[in-house]
Amino acid sequence: MRSSHAVWIVGLLTAALGAAGVSVHAGAAAPNRATMSTSTTDATYSCRVRPGQHVVQLYGSVTLPSVQNKPQPGVLVLTTGVKTVTRNDTTTTVSQVGLRADKKGLKIDKSSCRRVKQHIPLKPKGLPTPGFTVTPTHQGFDNEQCDTTARVLARIRVQTTNQIPSHALFAIRNEGAHGRAIAFYNWSPSKLTVYPGNSCTSS
């Protein structure tokens, strides 16, 4: 069921925006209207992938209707499988990059990912085109499992309005000399376009 996929990341250790030190550029709307703050963050991270498997999980969704009075905001998630947490005898895999259409909804697991100066293209270069589109009335979410190298580069550029993400571009590539593209996402809470690479399998 869709509701089982649209679950926010459990156990991420560090909220980005403030704590992760990503670059933020803020502005304000016309003063004679209700104040509306906007900002853009743009950062690239090098993230470890679970040894021996070299597979990442990529999940994206748009905002869906509430289920049992529980909101289902749109998300983008990268999970490399390198970290788990156990609480009350339940083990949960921690995601390394997570975005949610909620206040201060960008989170980075800085213990598994380090920020790097390298910028990878925020476009589907090297990936099969055209991509496919997900909306609240068409599929709602996409889940990919992709083969990778030992580390991946993940660049995310997020636009927020009143601290809530409203648009994001998300590119994932293998880290290394060739830097093969893995996937690219053009996300908003109401529309998601996905460009998975040939190493990805939908599930």
Domain spans, the chain: 2-202
What is the number of H-type helices and E-type strands within the chain? Answer: 1, 19
**6-15, 43-52, 178-187, range with the lowest pLDDT:** 6-15
Does the pLDDT at position 17 exceed 60? no
Distances (CA, A) of 101 to 27, 82, 152: 20, 25, 24
Q: Is residue 93 within 8 Å of 116, Cβ to Cβ?
A: no
For the stretch 42-51, pLDDT in tens is 999 999 999 9
> In whole angstroms, what is the distance from residue 165 CA to residue 159 CA?
6
CA angle 39, 122, 151 (to 5 degrees): 105
In this prediction, residue 14 has a pLDDT band, given cuts at 50, 70 and 90, of very low
pTM over 0.75: yes
Residue 22 pLDDT > 50, yes or no? no
CB 112 within 8 Å of CB 96: yes
Where is pLDDT greater, at 77 or 24? 77
Q: Read off the pLDDT band of 7 (50, 70, 90).
A: very low
Residue 111 has pLDDT above 70, yes or no: yes
Check pLDDT > 90 for residue 16.
no
